[in-house]
Amino acid sequence: MTEPLWIGVDLGTQSVRALAVDEEGRQIAAASRPLTGRRSGPRHEQDPADWWRGTVEALAELTANLAGRPVGALAVCATSGTVLLTDADGTPRTAGMMYDDTRAGALAAEAQEAGAALWSRLGYRMQPAWALPKLLWWRDAGLLTGGARLTHQPDVIAARLVGRPVASDSSHALKTGYDLIAGGWPTEILDALRLDPAALPEVVRPGSVLGTVAAEAAALTGLPVGTPVIAGMTDGCAAQLAAGALDIGQWNAVLGTTLAFKGVSAALPHDPTGAVYSHRAPHGDLWLPGGASSTGAGAIRALFPDADEAALAELTSAAARVTEVPVCYPLVGEGERFPFVLSTARGFLGEGPLASDGDAPTVFAAVLTGVAHVERLSFALLAQAGADVGGPVAFTGGGARNDWWNQLRCDMLGVPVWLPENPEPALGMAVLAAGAVSGDIPLAARRLVRVRRTLQPDPERTAALLPGYHAFVEALAARDWLDPRLAEHPG
């Protein structure tokens, strides 16, 4: 009997991506379609009809290349905090209000005050672009009438696939105020906010079966009728699944323009600054804490805008020979959100501002080392908040293409590292689909996630890097940017 394929769909900001892999994680087919949005000031909207059109076209192209092989299941991920209003039957009433739409930002304080005790227990603070303030915006606009229902972005696709409205998953519902501890909507908080619980969807755990592909959707997409549709997770959690970080103490560090972290912890971390928030894992009684720094590889593009791949390789070789690396906080622009929250924070290099003046290899080495310092400090904060941070860590993102930087970061952390072959969110949804059917999501990840390289820290190099790291922490403490407790125990 032919083994089934597993399909993941990722609704990103700029495109819909569909991916099919076999039981060993080999990519069998992939397809994508572009998405466009409308931006005006704080507003960012997309048309839900475009989400469905793009998904249908991507899946139709994908399935045409599967040579009739059976499909085991599929799952969908989307951008966290993207919501819309629909009728009870799932018909959209509004455009999709995107994850970074902040028109409801002034209402975040109302949402925070009404549920402060619960949000504190859950370890976060309501943010301006989160979904609950958006629901309050619709309340004030008089749109929560006549059976209006808040719907999360992936539910639009899942509902069209199965032919009826579906439950939301608790991962996408987090930013709408879902109580991940009790497993329900907090009715007292909703009452205080003058919100009818009927405007909110049923919620299930990621990995739950939402239904099966109906005949109409099958005709459009090429998916077999009866294919299970699995409740997904947010795109960040999907990327963590694709990186294979699903055991306690494992983490995925994503180094792109910024630096983001997601890991697995047995206990719910509590960060008093609100910089860390946690999803429920789709398996076991576990939590997926995470945080995101505004530092990252964006500093390289800002300081070396004309450097192509060859020039960056030359800079890396030269940086490896630099013996005196100045302390650097590689922050572009103003404001930091992790490992501390400070709207006035600005990058620095040595005693001056972050700039490309001076010896290029030295500046380059300082930026790369500075990111590694931020990464180690971030894990120190996560440990202080109660998260398990023993490692190993998966490195993904554009920064993971630099081998020297990877080893520097590995040595700075002092834990083993692996580099996944294909850490895209669509693969994470294929992992979730496979694990939901088999009943063992971590085992599905071990089968489907392919590792291209592993790294081990050099203990001598780790010891040699610590004085520079401590100088970095002291520089932050001198600026009053760090909680004194973290400054005293920098990891």
Q: How far is CA 108 from CA 95, 137, 219, in A?
A: 21, 10, 43
SS (H, E, C) the chain: CCCCEEEEEEECCCEEEEEEECCCCCEEEEEEEECCCEEECCEEEECHHHHHHHHHHHHHHHHHCCCCCCEEEEEEEECCCCEEEECCCCCECCCEECCCCCCCHHHHHHHHHHCHHHHHHHCCCCCCCCHHHHHHHHHHCCCCCCCCEEEEHHHHHHHHHHCCCCCEEHHHHHHHCCECCCCECCHHHHHHCCCCHHHCCCEECCCCEEEECCHHHHHHHCCCCCCEEECCCEHHHHHHHHHCCCCCCCEEEEECCCEEEEECECCCCCCCCCCCEEEECCCCCCEEEEEEECCCCHHHHHHCCCCCHHHHHHHHHHHCCCCCCCCEEEEEEEEECCCCCEEEEEEEECCEECCCCCCHHHHHHHHHHHHHHHHHHHHHHHHHCCCCCCCCEEEECHHHHCHHHHHHHHHHHCCCEEEECCCCHHHHHHHHHHHHHHCCHHHHHHHHCCEEEEECCCHHHHHHHHHHHHHHHHHHHHCCCCCHHHHHCCC
> All domains of the chain, ordered by start, with CATH?
5-232 (3.30.420.40), 245-488 (3.30.420.40)
Residue recorded with tokens 């990840």: 445
Q: What per-residue confidence (pLDDT) applies to 484?
A: 67
Q: What per-residue confidence (pLDDT) applies to 139?
A: 98
Residue recorded with tokens 């087919």: 29
In this prediction the pTM is 0.93
Q: What per-residue confidence (pLDDT) applies to 449?
A: 97
Full pLDDT tens readout for the chain, 491 residues:
689 999 999 999 999 999 999 999 999 999 999 999 999 999 999 999 999 999 999 999 999 999 999 999 999 999 999 999 999 999 999 999 999 999 999 999 999 999 999 999 998 889 999 999 999 999 999 999 999 999 999 999 999 999 999 999 999 999 999 999 999 999 999 999 999 999 999 999 999 999 999 999 999 999 999 999 999 999 999 999 999 999 999 999 999 999 999 999 999 998 877 788 899 999 999 999 998 999 999 999 999 999 999 999 999 999 999 999 999 999 998 999 889 889 899 999 999 999 988 899 999 999 999 999 999 999 999 998 899 999 899 999 999 999 999 999 999 999 999 999 999 999 999 999 999 999 999 999 999 999 999 999 999 999 999 999 999 999 999 999 987 666 666 67
Query: How far is Cα 149 from Cα 168, in angstroms, rounded to an integer?
Result: 12
